[in-house]
Amino acid sequence: MKHSQINMLEHSRAKIKLLSLYMDRYLNILNQSRYTSDILLYDMFCGKGVYENGGQGSPIIFLKKRKEIYYQNKGSKTSSAKFHCHFNDIDETKVEKLNSVIGNKNLHYSEIGSLEITSMDYRQMLEEIINELEELNREKAFIFIDPYGYKDIRAEDIKRLLMFENAEVLLFLPTQFMFRFEKKSTPESLKEFISELVPEQEWPESLTGLEFIENLLDKFREYLGEDYFADSFIIARDVNQYFCLLFFTSHIRGFEKMLEAKWKIDEEEGRGWKYRMENDLFSKQDKTPKTDKLKAKLAYFIQNERTNSELYQFGLHQGYRPTHVTSILRDFESQGKLEKKFKDGTTARKNAFYINYRNHKNDPSKIRIKLKE
């Protein structure tokens, strides 16, 4: 058994931290939504829940978060959702250990929702989830896929999970190993993985591990199309050694909450996590977001008139939060570079941009913004 499967390593802690922050932000939104009845949490490669060095795995995070949110909101007029967990691992010894841990730590209460723990292979579990998604109406589902490798994972799997518009997927990939074999002694499993996204001969060459991740994300976005949002969270273990979490959804609000979680961890770039990042001498100081890349793209985007909804979506697709877009527009405005009008043609007041989910949903054309010629 690999050392990383016995003891929780630093890159795994970063992965779990992102998962935890996302759960904090989005589960509460779903729990308080009158449009959501139940919340389904799937962990397809759950492991045994705890590591020998005390690290807590994804199923423990799921159970703790659902318990925390349920009791925080119990009795609230807006709280009605139940949280149902389905944990799976093909290794029966890990499943037995997880069952024991859950019982010993008193983590499951039937009043919160159901708990199912199974030992199926990935393909069987995938088909079961898809069958359940087909039956959903007002429920929402979150699927965490943290495989032991990548040879069984297919891009089509992600598309099938997303097609019901009530599911979000977080996929962990060992991209450092994938990059290593990209051009040299490429294994058949990697060829199959890449060729599903793009014809093998059209795959762009990656000079670094980061470039490989960027290429992978770009091809996933092209493969899924504009109706879906996709982004990455990069975990740097060492020089040019990167793991990657890929997040997929058709729900713009869920995507925004994942971006919030990313930028909470990496306040400068919202890109990822570096080894020893949290112990860095300067890690406790406030970080200024680096938005030069967004600024250049945004300046080009608003050469034509854009609505507040279009600007909201544009920023998210670039991997930035609405606050970043608003900050850049304020800078343009202070330099006298913007034209802003309400939909009735009247001039909008200074610092009024309305770039947020509420206005995107309820008043998507409230304001129109254009860069002056």
| Domain shared by 114 and 169, yes or no | yes
pLDDT exceeds cutoff 90 at 201: no
| Domain shared by 200 and 330, yes or no | no
Residue 280: predicted pLDDT = 45
Residue 272: predicted pLDDT = 72
Residue 238: predicted pLDDT = 64
| Domain shared by 20 and 86, yes or no | yes
Is 337 domain-assigned?
yes
| Domain shared by 215 and 102, yes or no | yes
Statement: the pTM of the whole predicted model exceeds 0.85: yes
Helix (H, G, I), strand (E, B) or coil at 214: helix
Is 76 domain-assigned?
yes
Residue 281: predicted pLDDT = 38
Highest mean pLDDT among 54-58, 207-211, 361-365: 361-365
User: Which of the listed residues 251, 279, 307 is the one where a domain comes to its end?
Assistant: 279
Is 113 domain-assigned?
yes
From its phi and psi, is residue 251 left (phi > 0), alpha (psi between -120 and 50) or beta? beta
Residue 96: predicted pLDDT = 95
| Domain shared by 255 and 125, yes or no | yes
Total number of domains in the chain: 2
Is 284 domain-assigned?
no
| Domain shared by 272 and 340, yes or no | no
User: Which of the listed residues 235, 250, 279 is the one where a domain comes to its end?
Assistant: 279
> Stretch 340-366: mean pLDDT, rounded?
95
- Kindly report, residue by residue over 226-285, the tens digit of the pLDDT: 889 999 988 876 666 778 889 999 999 999 998 999 898 888 887 777 654 444 434 444
| Domain shared by 189 and 111, yes or no | yes
| Domain shared by 175 and 69, yes or no | yes
- The CATH code of the domain that includes 119 is 3.40.50.150
Residue 2: predicted pLDDT = 46
Residue 321: domain span: 292-371
pLDDT exceeds cutoff 60 at 5: no
| Residue 346 DSSP class | P
Residue 277: predicted pLDDT = 46
Is 186 domain-assigned?
yes
Could you tell me the two tokens for 213?
Answer: 């991740």
Q: Which residues, at least 6 apart from 310, have a Cβ–Cβ distance to it below 8 Å? A: none
Give all strands (DSSP E) within the chain, no chain letters.
Answer: 38-43, 82-88, 115-118, 140-145, 167-173, 229-238, 241-249, 272-274, 306-307, 338-342, 367-371
| Domain shared by 298 and 245, yes or no | no
Residue 164: predicted pLDDT = 84
pLDDT exceeds cutoff 80 at 80: no
| Domain shared by 257 and 356, yes or no | no
> Stretch 202-217: mean pLDDT, rounded?
84
Residue 333: predicted pLDDT = 96
Q: How many percent of the chain have pLDDT more than 90?
A: 51
- Kindly report, residue by residue over 234-245, the tens digit of the pLDDT: 887 666 677 888
- Kindly report, residue by residue over 9-41, the tens digit of the pLDDT: 566 777 888 888 888 888 878 877 777 888 999
> Stretch 59-83: mean pLDDT, rounded?
81
| Domain shared by 187 and 242, yes or no | yes
Is 366 domain-assigned?
yes
User: Which of the listed residues 256, 279, 302 is the one where a domain comes to its end?
Assistant: 279
Confidence of residue 99 (pLDDT cuts 50, 70, 90): very high
> Stretch 325-353: mean pLDDT, rounded?
95
pLDDT exceeds cutoff 60 at 102: yes
Highest mean pLDDT among 80-89, 185-194, 324-333: 324-333
Beta bridge partners of 306: 369
| Domain shared by 159 and 191, yes or no | yes
Is 138 domain-assigned?
yes
Buried b (16+ CB within 10 A) or exposed e, 320-358: bbbebbbbbbeebbeeeebebeeeeeeebeeeebbbebe
The mean of the pLDDT values for the chain is 86
Is 52 domain-assigned?
yes
